[in-house]
Amino acid sequence: STGQPAVEIAGVRKSFGAVHALRGVDLRVMPGHVYGVLGPNGAGKTTLLRIVLGLVRPDGGSVTVLGGRPGHPETLKGIGALVESPAFVPYLSGRTNLKVLARARGLPNDEVARVLQVVDLTDRADERFAGYSLGMGQRLGVAAALLGSPGLLILDEPTNGLDPEGVASMRTFIRRIGEQGTTVLLSSHLLSEVQQICDRVIVINNGRVIADDTVSAVRARTGATVLKIWAS
């Protein structure tokens, strides 16, 4: 990995009332890698991703994203994200939903065809969104996040709630996106998933980063906390 970090975080803290979601997080996301943010429920993964997107303001610390401030319009131009169930219009087709988003951003229609192909939805793109399965809807969400070819793709538990086939294809698409050079930052509570998709892993537990390395190096570690998370 060369060049400036895509994301640089130092000393970031965030509490919600008495809940300390992040207790002083330092990390760097280097371009061209697929990062997994791994940790159990409530570890602070979603809060971390929302801070990178500028949706949550940290109580302290510094955050630089693509060289700029998180949430700033210029910064957001370089980011595609799927951090909650995407809102699509049910009575429009998947393709028309994407065309609406593309047009709003001044992107050409062939960009819609391109992203549909990446997530293997071309054959079903002209069906109404209302008839889509959860997995198809999630794939359309990833397609929407890919409009405009962002350099950084942020996905919060992208396989959550999908059936095994949906999980397998989502993992394939994300790997493919990473192989094309997009920097990916995704959260997961499954070691097996991170092993399948990612080349780097940030392990977060109780609001702290407890490991940040290649997947193979972190796997080789024998720290008790890390092992507990591996087993969960």
Q: Which residues bind ligand ATP (CB under 6 A)?
A: 16, 19, 21, 39, 41-47, 189
What is the closest distance, in whole angstroms, from the C-beta atom of residue 218 to ligand ATP in the complex?
17
Computed from CA positions of residues 89, 183, 16, 68, in that sequence, does the dihedral angle turn out positive or negative? negative
What is the closest distance, in whole angstroms, from the C-beta atom of residue 162 to ligand ATP in the complex?
15
What is the closest distance, in whole angstroms, from the C-beta atom of residue 205 to ligand ATP in the complex?
9
User: Which lies closer to ligand ATP via its Cβ, residue 46 or residue 182?
Assistant: 46
User: Which lies closer to ligand ATP via its Cβ, residue 139 or residue 189?
Assistant: 189
Q: Are strands 152-156 and 79-82 parallel, antiparallel or unpaired?
A: parallel
User: Which lies closer to ligand ATP via its Cβ, residue 14 or residue 95?
Assistant: 14
Question: For residue 18, what are the CA distances in angstroms to 21, 62, 114?
Answer: 9, 22, 46
Q: 193: closest CA among 217, 164, 213?
A: 164
Cβ density class 153-170: b for 16+ within 10 Å, e for less:
bbbbbbbeebeeebbebb
What is the closest distance, in whole angstroms, from the C-beta atom of residue 85 to ligand ATP in the complex?
13
What is the closest distance, in whole angstroms, from the C-beta atom of residue 177 to ligand ATP in the complex?
22
What is the closest distance, in whole angstroms, from the C-beta atom of residue 67 to ligand ATP in the complex?
25
Instruction: Yes or no: say if 158 and 196 are a contact pair by the CB < 8 Å rule.
Output: no
User: Which lies closer to ligand ATP via its Cβ, residue 125 or residue 184?
Assistant: 184
Q: 180: closest CA among 117, 230, 110?
A: 117
Instruction: Yes or no: say if 154 and 185 are a contact pair by the CB < 8 Å rule.
Output: yes
User: Which lies closer to ligand ATP via its Cβ, residue 41 or residue 222?
Assistant: 41
User: Which lies closer to ligand ATP via its Cβ, residue 95 or residue 200?
Assistant: 200
Amino acid, res. 101: L
Cβ atoms within 10 A of the Cβ of 180, count? 10
Question: For the packed helices 164-179 and 134-146, what is the interaxial angle rounded to 10 degrees?
Answer: 10
